[in-house]
Amino acid sequence: MSTDSNTILVSAKGLRKSYKNTLALDNTTFDIPAGRIVGLIGPNGAGKTTALKAILGLIPFDGDLKILGKDPRTQRDALMNDVCFIADVAVLPRWITVAQAIEFVAGVHPRFDAARCQRFLEGTQLKPTMKVREMSKGMIVQLHLALVMAIDARLLVLDEPTLGLDILYRKQFYQRLLEDYFDDEKTILITTHQVEEVEHILTDVMFIRGGKISLSAAMDTLGERYCEVLVNADKLDAARALQPIDERSLPFGKTVMLFDGANAEQLAALGETRTPSIADLFVATMKGTYA
């Protein structure tokens, strides 16, 4: 992800963090431009949450990290005026009422607009006295979203925000975020291992594996770099000679190969070509991680 340096919101160089014998961040380097929706995607234990904790100033680490030009280790209080962090939506306490949740967030975040939150709730069935334990999952999502979207933060960090929700509520969560919250003044960083559900809203993607960033790219450039080919049976040897980064078999003897930076004309001669999905790229680049 390259952009004008004036618009880099998060700049990380050579981050290192170890827990006992495990390197959670291993010389991790990346930039996040302003006005983007970035997916930090990796398997469990890849370093996603550690990277977020570093960004939020919640852990000590080695290396150089600037968020909005500030070091989260020494300027965390000032930084948190412009940053909002939301973990999975199951974290709201079951005893809390809608009114108490609004009052709580108003007390902890200086950029929270309670009136704006109320406007988001007007179209829902949520009432001020309703407790979380009386709500359906869909209602909890609506409350959570209203609380998030009423915070005028420059960086919104979402850590696996839709864990435990069914696909309908997950789609609703991301769609509302896109339509009612995001603009070119804001940046959203989402960590997840459920690749398919965020693919349609991301502007940029970063894969993290073993504490290292293994891929960092704008979504609209992936098609220029990566290509999947449904290779004709008589072209298998020629295709393998071009060194695919992944190969998988389909029914009826068909083979799909994934190429990085190969010549488009050569690939077209091997069979049907297409841009791979993020999920396909993720599976290909993470092979062996789950062993």
Over range 257-262, report the average pLDDT.
Answer: 92
Region of 116 (left: φ > 0; alpha: ψ -120 to 50; beta: rest) is alpha
For the stretch 135-169, pLDDT in tens is 988 888 889 888 888 988 899 998 888 877 778 87
| CA–CA gap between residue 220 and residue 88 (Å, rounded) | 28
Q: Is 196 helix (H, G, I), strand (E, B) or coil?
A: helix
Confidence of residue 88 (pLDDT cuts 50, 70, 90): low
Q: Set out the domains of the chain in order of their start, with CATH numbers.
A: 5-210 (3.40.50.300), 222-285 (3.30.70)
Question: Is 291's pLDDT higher than 80?
Answer: no
Instruction: Report the chain's C-alpha Rg in angstroms.
Output: 21
> What confidence tens digit (pLDDT) does each residue in 56-72 have?
999 999 999 999 999 99
Residue length of the chain: 291
The Cα 153–Cα 142 span in angstroms is 19
Residue 25 CB: number of other CB atoms within 10 A?
Answer: 26
Q: Which residue has the tokens 């930039």?
A: 31
